[in-house]
Chain A
């Protein structure tokens, strides 16, 4: 897994419209939650789907868990025909979601995001309230398990004013 700032810079330099979500967003918001991949919500405009495909092409994206002989090219056409992609890349395991449970598409997710400056780059990160909303909506055991931590963390940040 490459360092997060390096991954963000690659996507930022490609002018990709994205929001960090999931476990990586939890970590960036201050959680101690451990995860193994990085999740993003991406805008599904034709231009952004082209940018996504182009930015990841040098890092050999493959569908995670798919048979090795399954023909697949992560290009703008494939992205347009799908929605959510769980990828193995040379950068690490990266997931790109067109929609997020409980929030909606990129526009709604962006509206629930905070801007964090990471190594000089502005990065949209799903807010704690957004994370809580999507975890409640998803409702799986692993989502509900982290709710007390997220809600406690939200209170701690609100009381102290820490970003």
Chain B
């Protein structure tokens, strides 16, 4: 991502155009800063971050199974 692209992307996520799909996503509850952070990575960096994301997901799932909510 070039500095110009970064600036434009940041403007768009902080002030999504009214009625746009980006504004819809924000209203839906999507954290647009996470999209911005991921887009700043190269495809290779995104690929390498995937496994740690899966490990985190599995860790949370296993922890939830071992510690069910109390009644």
Q: A residues engaging B (CB < 8 A)?
A: 1-5, 8, 24, 27-28, 30-32, 34-38, 92, 116-119, 125, 148-149, 151-157, 159-163
Contact = CB atoms under 8 A, between A and B. Distances in A.
Contacts, number: 114
Interface of B: 1, 5, 8-9, 12-13, 16, 20-22, 24-28, 30-32, 34-35, 37-39, 43-44, 46-51, 53-58, 61
B38 A152 contact: no
A92 B50 CA distance: 12
B25 A148 contact: yes
Judged by DSSP, the binding face of A is mixed
Nearest to B53: A34
Contact of A160 (B5, B34, B47, B49): B5
Nearest to B54: A1
A35 B47 CA distance: 13
Contact of B58 (A30, A36, A156): A36
